[in-house]
Structure 1
């Protein structure tokens, strides 16, 4: 049995490295040399890029521009196995920093590294302590608990269910502490971070909106604040029975596609990305349903949260996806994604001929049954 805790295709950090540098990150990890390489992704004020450098005698450096609170993912490939391996199975850390001169040091790994020179990082650590740790910490604890079981216990659902129950309780407790933290820190950056994380993919408007409205104007008008406001608005307006928000976005050839111009008795607005495993796993079913119902009025418009056009196009070709594809290549900051309050993929909205939402987040057999109901299965 596999470990029970897995990361989903949820909102993850990407990077900003501008030409006008106001931060420096110096790293020293033992005496590592080629082929060791460090990969870094930053999210800074809604914009992102990525960068990487070789490790020379244990040292590496990144320079760039930060608006003040930048979220980073840093991964170290010790053996030159590449970014994907480093990020998903290797030595990886997540942290915030600002307009600072930061030093990261460790004898052997990023996971054991210490930070100096970053006031923002220290604030982030204090925030995590107050809420009970990061999601990564909770995942790590649950996986460690599972690994501590004997092979026989790992096959016993009673033992596994205890670990799962404890994990869910820890997540619930963390969420509650985040809301308390947000209320107590209406002027602090991590107050908004706490609220954003606690709100999750399904925003409880009566609970979240008053806390948001009590926060400072500076926070509410920051990019993270604007994104939070969009999610609140989406939760109020985008639901079964409502008219889907209209949008325009370019297709693979750079030509604008309007939702209003899409025709069909049933239209699936599908949010996905080339890097999203669950999205790619669902594509064969979507392809089969499209083949079965296209002539009966079924259409799909797929909005990609990719930021790399080549990877986006490669995925479309590899998975043989014949429907309409659009993207602004802004990753998680895709304008349509933000309009619809998307925080995790895959996500979708099934519309009728009048662009009314008739169902949300249907996949697999649930989607198949709904299409048979709407379009007929003969």
Structure 2
């Protein structure tokens, strides 16, 4: 892994027992460029709340210059441009299109292959991107409504 600000290599072992997002993306991809600010905002919010999260950018750019330009806008790690592990990861996670975000839990298991959708819908609240967390988010409006009157006055008039 490489760090954008320090241009240093980080061993994969530094990611053990952390929540990880694998961010498959590319500079040439308009939806990827549109999603990047959303992901960046969620990332900063998650980290601000004291959560352990690392994002790893896995580029589909065709040249080093494009990779460098896009990666320079990111506050997280990246698989180095041209790293052969990219193809293995794309096969493993069945990446057919980008942007795609895969969430991996601290135990090293895949938590969600739909993390992009969760981030687009719920932002940082989706962390840690588990099915349990999604159920909590979806149940929140129902819990808020508990104790509210079943019918409003306008509904009663229409009946």
Matched, 1:261 2:14: yes
Question: Which residue in 2 is equivalent to 1:173?
Answer: none
Question: Which residue in 1 is equivalent to 2:110?
Answer: 357
Question: Which residue in 1 is equivalent to 2:78?
Answer: 325
Residues 325, 307 of structure 1: alpha-carbon distance in 2 compared, 3 angstrom cutoff: same
Question: Which residue in 1 is equivalent to 2:127?
Answer: 371
Alpha-carbon separation, structure 1, partners of 2:2 and 2:81: 7
* Superposed CA offset, 1:221-275 (max 9, x none): xxxxxxxxxxxxxxxxxxxxxxxxxxxx6666473642x4314642111111111
Q: 1:307 aligns with which of 47, 62, 85?
A: 62
Using the size of structure 1 for normalisation, the TM-score is 0.29
Using the size of structure 2 for normalisation, the TM-score is 0.62
Alpha-carbon separation, structure 2, partners of 1:257 and 1:341: 24
Residues 334, 265 of structure 1: alpha-carbon distance in 2 compared, 3 angstrom cutoff: closer
Q: Structure 2 regions of 5+ residues with no counterpart?
A: 135-159
Question: Which residue in 2 is equivalent to 1:276?
Answer: 29
Q: CA deviation at 1:338?
A: 3.3
Residues 330, 344 of structure 1: alpha-carbon distance in 2 compared, 3 angstrom cutoff: farther
Residues 254, 298 of structure 1: alpha-carbon distance in 2 compared, 3 angstrom cutoff: closer
* Superposed CA offset, 1:312-353 (max 9, x none): 111122xx311001134379x744323433221111211111
Say which SS state the counterpart of residue 296 (structure 1) adopts.
Answer: coil
Task: Decide which structure has greater strand share.
Answer: 1
Matched, 1:286 2:42: no
If you compute each CA radius of gyration, which structure gives the higher value, 1 or 2?
Answer: 1
Q: Is the 8 A contact 1:269 1:303 kept in 2?
A: yes
